[in-house]
Amino acid sequence: MHSSPLSRRVLGAAVSLPLVVLSVACGGEGTDGADDPVTVVVTETAGTPTDTPASTTPLTEEQLNEAVLAHENLSPGWREVSSESEIGFGSVGCLAGMAQVPDDLFAAMARAEYDFEEDSLTTLLSAAGSVADEADATSFVDAAQATAAGCTSVNGTDDDGDQWEGTLTADETITNDAIDDQLLVEFDGTITTPDGTDLDIETRYLLARTGPHIAIVLSVNFPTYNYFDDAAYLQIAVDRFAAVATGAEPPVTVGPETN
């Protein structure tokens, strides 16, 4: 099983954090996002099926690569980066174990990772994979839902020495008719690095299943520095995954601008 503390990915970038803070302090373009305009999502629908069942056999490597977020879905400013092998939300407090991805699913997952601009900590990670037995996929989602349902706050230190404190909400609302199970876990709070730096952080972990196919989408944002409509991008990822899993062309959807 593979678990992955989120802070290992996020705070690996925090080595450059003093530069970000300095840029903002010296009149950089950091923003709290409170008054920033929201760009309307522009969609050209290529067809997201509502009554077509998902394939009962594992998706091919080509299909999995198509099922994850593509650069064409992103507004200007996003850049593709080499995706790390770890996938997950966190391992602090009651979250421990929620990101345990079965070995066979982990090995077969396609991944796409994007950062917003070179010096930004805002990140999107999209992954998709299939297992041979739909029951295994269902069990994976059930376990994550059970863990999330009993976890409403986090206060603890992860393996990297980062202190997490904040609230969690879990939502099992299905947002695409082709999806069988869905889970959205939202963390809003602060992390304190080992050197004492406090950071406001927003993370979103979305898990979607249709048949034996699973998508995981992770967004990370530090709202002091960027305005990021992560909900729009998570929905784009779900719609893209659902279309490919049911044999349709994914809708051509461009997300709102990040600034």
Strand pairing report for 213-221 and 252-254:
unpaired
Report pLDDT for 88: 58
Neighbours of 169 (CB within 10 A): 12
pLDDT tens by residue, 56-84? 888 999 999 999 999 999 999 999 987 65
Report pLDDT for 89: 53
Report pLDDT for 253: 92
CB–CB of 244/250 below 8 Å? yes
**107 φ/ψ angles, rounded to the nearest 5 degrees:** -65, -30
> Position 192: which residue type?
T
Report pLDDT for 32: 38
Least Cα distance to 185 among 93, 87, 89, 69 occurs for 89
- Rounded-to-integer distance, Cα 238 and Cα 216, Å: 9
In the predicted model, residues of the chain with pLDDT beneath 70 are: 1-51, 83-91, 96-100, 119
- Rounded-to-integer distance, Cα 138 and Cα 181, Å: 8
Q: Is 15 exposed, middle or buried (0-12, 13-18, 19+ CB in 10 A)?
A: exposed
- The pTM (predicted TM-score) of the whole model is 0.79
pLDDT tens by residue, 22-65? 222 222 333 333 333 333 333 333 344 445 777 788 899 999 99
**111 φ/ψ angles, rounded to the nearest 5 degrees:** -135, 145
Report pLDDT for 86: 61
Q: Say which DSSP state 124 is in.
A: E
> Position 17: which residue type?
L
Report pLDDT for 91: 66
Task: Give 143-198 as a 3 state SS string.
Answer: HHHHHHHCCCEEEEECCCCCEEEEEEEEECCCCCCCCCEEEEEEEEEEEECCCCCE
